[in-house]
A = this chain, B = another copy of it.
Amino acid sequence: MEKKMIEVLDKGYVRLVDKMGNDLTVANAARVSYDKESNEMSSKDERLIKFLASEGHTSPFRHAMLQFEVYAPLMVARQWWKYVVGSDHVMDGWNESSRRYVTEEPTFYVPKDDEWRSAPSNSKQGSGEPIESKEGAYLTKKLLKYIEEGEKLYSEALEMGIAAEQSRLFLPSYGMYVRWYWTSSLQGVAHFLSQRLEHDAQKEIQEYAKVVKILAEEHFPVAIGELLK
């Protein structure tokens, strides 16, 4: 299998590492009572998947799996997790890099001049329209400088012999990139998408969700289409 990768934000990406099954996997799992396995997708299989998705019969969607590698700011990782822990336990695997080790240079997400967003007028959460580029430029500069200072202090602490797990207190970590593998059933992926593609999800995680959708759809066009209806 070719391992397709798509870039997200300024330095992030999502890569499909592996997958198991295809749309037929779902239809065949639903038909186990009948001992009839299809070997080629037919319009009958499509109708069955449509029926399962619309009726909320989710178990057949748990036999198809996807494994992703994700590189994203920590604040995105946290929202991804929150979804997992707080709703269905549909995720199998999560292995993530850790700053308790000193393994690579810290890397940070920095919005560009025209990517800073205003607070929404009618909600306590989420974002409104982008602010003016000039003001954005001011914030981007300030953030770059603040990160630089944090990195300097972090390095200084390490050089003084302080443990990495404590030195990292100096890092402005919400925007720090972390890398992880995520293995989930097709149902889990669709559930993640149904929540994180929504307009009130944080813009940054929406970007990741869009890419996950593209990668999943390539292998499960019918199932993803029906589950997201």
Contact = CB atoms under 8 A, between A and B. Distances in A.
Given A63-B92, A127-B163, A131-B161, A97 B33 contact: yes
Interface stretch (A40-48, A100-108, A209-217, A220-228): A100-108
Nearest to A65: B65
Interface string A118-160: 1110001111100100010001001100100110010011101
Which of A58, A87, A102, A135 is packed against the most chain B CB atoms within 10 Å?
A87
Counting chain B CB atoms within 10 Å of each CB, which of A69, A97, A119 scores highest?
Answer: A119
A10 interface: no
Q: Interface on chain A toward B: helix, strand, loop, or mixed SS?
A: mixed
A207 interface: no
A88 B153 CA distance: 37
A84 B102 CA distance: 24
A19 interface: yes
A168 B91 CA distance: 28
Interface string A8-41: 0000000000111100010011101111000000
B93 A90 contact: no
Contacts of A32: 69, 95-97, 179-181
Q: By CB atoms of chain B within 10 A, which of A32, A95, A125 has the most?
A: A95
Interface residues of A, number: 93
A111 B99 CA distance: 18
Output the residue of A81, A166, A168 with the most chain B CB within 10 A.
A166
A25 B20 CA distance: 13
A59 B94 contact: yes
Contacts of A168: 75, 174
A118 B162 contact: yes
A162 B139 contact: yes
A81 to B, nearest CB: 6
A89 interface: yes
5 contacts: A32-B96, A58-B87, A62-B92, A126-B163, A169-B174
Given A85-B91, A90-B92, A172-B172, 12 more contacts: A32-B69, A32-B181, A65-B92, A75-B169, A82-B94, A93-B185, A119-B164, A125-B165, A139-B162, A146-B150, A169-B174, A171-B174
